[in-house]
Amino acid sequence: MSDSKPINPGDALKALLPPLALARLGALRLADGAASVVLDVSGLDALERERLELAVKEALGGAPGVKEVRVAMTADKVSRKIIAVGSGKGGVGKSTLSANLAVALARLGRKVGLVDADIYGPSQPRLMMVEGRKPAARDSKMIPIQSPYGVGVLSMGMLIEPDKAIAWRGPMASNALGQLIDADWGNTEILIVDLPPGTGDVQLTMLQRHKPAGAVIVSTPQDLALIDAKRAMQLFEQAGVPIIGMVENMAGYVCPHCGEVSDPFGSGGAEATAEQLGESFLGRIPLTITIREQSDAGTPSAAGDGPEGQAFMAIARRVATWLDNQ
């Protein structure tokens, strides 16, 4: 027997949808010439959602009885984990580590985003080769800029003119940081946040409002930097943010000519400090001209397979294991 049910106009339209949209179809109704389509976009990033929406509009746009296509999207809330990268002292390599950690985690198959929370010295646009790009917005949320390394990036530097930063007050900076963190991160699982140095407003807001899953503390091997690193760790711990571990940066200078290793800032201090405090030691990054040059060129060392890239990959593996055990 053939099906004698009257044809629902929505059902007729369904047949026009591409399989990708059909697989994600929540509801489809046609009323007064308006086709309302609800799609489940869980797990899709901003670009994929945009493509899906376009495909649906194209498929239904010219259909009989359809004057307008409205697409609504729903998604399961992704449980996103924030990793804060901090230090006590400035200039020890937080931004370098943040960029490379993000790229390395992406190479390990994680879905990673990178937020540059430094208003006074945003460095991620340069490090991640997205300089000069301004994020678009959808539903009043910013859409991260895709770097060539499979990592979405948003930076305070994309929101403000460099010479205006000095006029920013604490609450403005905190609100701007909120916009970066609550942006349209799609299916991003891990958000790396590159903090400015010290323990100012931005750091405190970060800890209070956007509760990181954990913090990575960077230090050079010098005693003074290590004292500041201890202070930063205390700040995180007091705010209830677990310390994932310490990274020692600029440990051992590798001479580009002869390969000989010397220790301008000493070496091993961070590992000893971590042990003394009962924290994990995540790894050591040497001081090399390659890291500085690759950073300046916007091609993070972790995107390649040189010794520096491998050092960052080793740290990323430890961070990934830590996250998996949460």
Ligand X SMILES: Nc1ncnc2c1ncn2[C@@H]1O[C@H](COP(=O)(O)OP(=O)(O)OP(=O)(O)O)[C@@H](O)[C@H]1O
Is 205 near Mg ion (CB under 5 A)?
Answer: no
At residue 247, what are phi and psi to the nearest 5 degrees? -120, 135
Q: Which is nearer to ligand X, 92 or 302 (CB)?
A: 92
Nearest CA among 186, 218, 192, 182 for reference residue 46 = 186
Is 199 near ligand X (CB under 6 A)?
Answer: no
3-state secondary structure of 285: strand
- Segment contacting Mg ion by CB under 5 A, of 1-9, 19-27, 92-100, 170-178: 92-100
Is 118 near ligand X (CB under 6 A)?
Answer: yes
3-state secondary structure of 28: strand
Is 301 near Mg ion (CB under 5 A)?
Answer: no
Is 123 near ligand X (CB under 6 A)?
Answer: yes
- Segment contacting Mg ion by CB under 5 A, of 90-98, 107-115, 223-231, 317-325: 90-98
Is 90 near ligand X (CB under 6 A)?
Answer: yes
To ligand X, the closest distance from the beta carbon of 291 in angstroms equals: 4
Nearest CA among 295, 82, 84, 281 for reference residue 197 = 84
What order do you get walking across the sheet with 25-31 strand by strand? 25-31, 34-40, 68-74
Cβ-contact 178, 172 below 8 angstroms: no
- 158 vs 131: CA distance, rounded Å: 9
Q: Say which entry of Mg ion, ligand X, none residue 96 contacts (CB below 5 to 8 A, set by partner kind).
A: ligand X
Is 95 near Mg ion (CB under 5 A)?
Answer: yes
Q: Say which entry of ligand X, Mg ion, none residue 266 contacts (CB below 5 to 8 A, set by partner kind).
A: none
To ligand X, the closest distance from the beta carbon of 300 in angstroms equals: 10
Is 203 near ligand X (CB under 6 A)?
Answer: no
Q: Hey, which residues between 57 and 86 contact ligand X (CB under 6 A)? A: none
Is 155 near ligand X (CB under 6 A)?
Answer: no
Q: Which is nearer to ligand X, 273 or 288 (CB)?
A: 288
Q: Which is nearer to ligand X, 28 or 193 (CB)?
A: 193
Place of tokens 């046609």: 30
Dig out the tokens for 257 from the structure.
Answer: 């000519």
Cβ-contact 133, 102 below 8 angstroms: no
Is 197 near ligand X (CB under 6 A)?
Answer: yes
Torsion of CA 18, 22, 24, 25, to 10 degrees: 120
In 10-48, which positions are buried (b, 16+ CB within 10 angstroms) versus exposed (e)?
eeebeebbeeebeebeeebebeeeebebebebeebbbee
What length is written for the chain?
326
Q: Say which entry of ligand X, Mg ion, none residue 298 contacts (CB below 5 to 8 A, set by partner kind).
A: none
Is 300 near ligand X (CB under 6 A)?
Answer: no
To ligand X, the closest distance from the beta carbon of 219 in angstroms equals: 10
Q: Which is nearer to Mg ion, 95 or 249 (CB)?
A: 95
- 230 vs 215: CA distance, rounded Å: 13
- Binding region for ligand X (CB under 6 A): 87, 90-96, 118, 121, 123, 196-197, 249-250, 285, 287-288, 291-292, 295
